[in-house]
Amino acid sequence: MDNIKQLIYEGKLEEAIRQLDAYIAEHPEADEAWYLRGNAYRKTEDFQQALNSYLKAMEINPDSPAADAYQILTKILDYRNKEVYNP
């Protein structure tokens, strides 16, 4: 996971997602991998994939940091969407 965290930190998001998907295929109950996948997708601004990944991490482990990430991201998206509809 440290290698994947480094890829995300360096902005090598496609490679991080590719490695996370491979890891998750072998370890589908690895909540940290789902959380990191959410972070990588959030950074690519694929917010739907990010939210779905966070939800999966929370399903596996309700105490996952994905719970906080999910709440923060939904608040940001709610705010953004209000700005779109309220010029």
Rounded CA-CA distance 45/56 in Å is 18
Range of the domain at 79: 2-85
CATH number of domain containing 36: 1.25.40.10
Q: First-to-last CA distance in the chain?
A: 42
What is the pLDDT averaged over residues 12-17? 98
Distance from CA of residue 87 to its chain's centroid?
A: 29
Question: CB-hemisphere CA count at 13 Å for 83?
Answer: 6
**Which tokens hold the place of 35?**
């959380």
Which of 67, 68, 66 lies closest to 40, judged by CA? 66
Domain count for the chain: 1
Q: What is the mean pLDDT of residues 75-79?
A: 86
**37's tokens:** 């996948």
Rounded mean pLDDT, 59-69: 96
DSSP 8-state assignment for residue 42: H
Quick one: pLDDT at residue 79?
80
Q: With cut-offs at 50, 70 and 90, classify the pLDDT of residue 78.
A: confident
- Indicate if the pLDDT at residue 83 is higher than 70: no
Statement: residue 3 has pLDDT above 60:
yes
pLDDT, tens digit (0-9, with 9 covering 90-100), for 15-46: 999 999 999 999 999 999 999 999 999 999 99
Rounded-to-integer distance, Cα 70 and Cα 4, Å: 20
pTM: 0.87
